[in-house]
Amino acid sequence: MSIATLSPAIAPDHYRSVMRHFPTGVAAVCAIDPETGKPCGMIVGTFQALSMEPALVTFSVTRTSTSWPKIARSGTFSVSLLADGQQTVCKALSSKAEDKFVAIDWEESRHGNPHINGALGWIDCTIKQELDGGDHLLIVASVQEMQEADGEPLVFHGGRLGGFRESAAA
């Protein structure tokens, strides 16, 4: 008997409600669309390290995303790890605006991908696999090059954006 057969139906609202308790970082996945020559991108909270050797990263993308097909046809993209204070960058890149980059400060990496200035880390990647993830695609990508800067991360929790706060053990 499969696990799917044993599992009760999970109500999407309940699923979302439980997952709101799990904070994430905020990563901007960006590329230059080869069809237009313009930058394109989206925000993902599902970004994470997958493998050290070889260096692989992963994240999931909703199948309804209009930005992902543009990034996918590039075959290469960057991940900018957003810093506390970059809330407006997060809002712009998670919007459905025609030109999400109009007020974003960025520069092109030597791999041809947009790096968001002021971020804490930049990871240039090439797409390795697009796997089935239900109503999402699970993206696996190879790391080409990484850079980092000092600062505090932008954190997403319970539908809100903010900074990280360290707390002592009780």
Ligand X SMILES: Cc1cc2nc3c(=O)[nH]c(=O)nc-3n(C[C@H](O)[C@H](O)[C@H](O)COP(=O)(O)O)c2cc1C
* Residue numbers at the binding site for ligand X (CB under 6 A): 26, 42-46, 59-62, 65-67, 90, 94, 96, 156
Contact 20, 158 (CB under 8 A): yes
Minimum CB–partner distance for residue 109 and ligand X (Å): 21
Q: Which is nearer to ligand X, 60 or 76 (CB)?
A: 60
Nearest CA-CA partner of 93 in 35, 142, 31, 152: 31
Closest distance between ligand X and the C-beta of residue 24, in Å? 7
The residues that bridge with 25 in the sheet, in sequence order, are 155
- The structure tokens listed for 151 are 């600062």
Under DSSP, is residue 139 helix (H, G, I), strand (E, B) or coil? strand
Are residues 106 and 116 in contact, defined by beta-carbon separation less than 8 angstroms?
Answer: yes
**Least distance from C-beta 122 to ligand X, angstroms?**
18
CB of 85 to ligand X, least distance (A): 15
Decide if 95 contacts 159 (C-beta within 8 A): no
